[in-house]
Homo-oligomer: A and B are copies of this chain.
Amino acid sequence: MAITIRPAVAADVPQILDFIRALATYEREPDAVTATEEDLLRDGFGPNPFYFCLIAETEGAPAGFAFYFFNYSTWLGRPGLYLEDLFVYPEFRGLGIGKALLQRVAAIAVEKGCPRMQWEVLDWNTPAIEFYRAMGAEFMDEWRNVRVSGTALQRLAGSGENRT
């Protein structure tokens, strides 16, 4: 079955949102997606996009996507590629689509001069972990991910407001 990978265009936004929702369901957070088509259109397809997206198709049918943007390595003095989402619909798994997407993203990283690409995986997602390991990935387990959001972020932002 032929796999085609192409950059997403603005008309793909409804499809991108479907991929995002399907991935959230797989990650056991089906209600976590509040993003709208308007959000994705505004942030991905303006003059200075916050993100980029690839769509994988098999015989014209959308099968998977990769969603990425650029971070920065202070040690290397170069932008890196950050892969936010990589997803293939369940009915299209086992055809090499995930691998093809990952390879294409890696090729973009190399083309853009990024010395590395990074992403995250849920610790219970054994098939993905084994797949990434087979692709040459390292697991940076000494680094813990930290987040401040919602009211905690508002409080932190507000608590320094009288500072020069």
Using CB atoms and an 8 Å cutoff, list the residues of chain A in contact with chain B: 2-5, 20, 23-24, 29, 32-36, 39-40, 43, 48, 50-51, 67, 69-79, 82, 84-85, 99-100, 102-104, 106-107, 109-110, 115-124, 129, 132, 135-150, 152-161, 163-164
A99 to B148, CA, bound (A): 14
Question: Which chain B positions have C-beta within 8 A of A3?
Answer: 163-164
Give the shortest distance, in Å, between A2 (CB) and chain B (any CB).
7
A66 to B82, CA, bound (A): 20
In the assembled complex, 11 residue pairs joining A and B whose CB atoms fall closer than 8 Å, in A order, are A20-B74, A32-B75, A33-B75, A35-B75, A100-B163, A103-B157, A117-B148, A120-B146, A136-B156, A137-B148, A140-B147
Give the shortest distance, in Å, between A164 (CB) and chain B (any CB).
5
A34: nearest residue on chain B (CB-CB)? B76
Give the shortest distance, in Å, between A74 (CB) and chain B (any CB).
5
Question: Which chain B positions have C-beta within 8 A of A110?
Answer: 153-154, 157
Q: Which of A50, A72, A84, A161 has the most CB of B within 10 A?
A: A72
A20: nearest residue on chain B (CB-CB)? B74
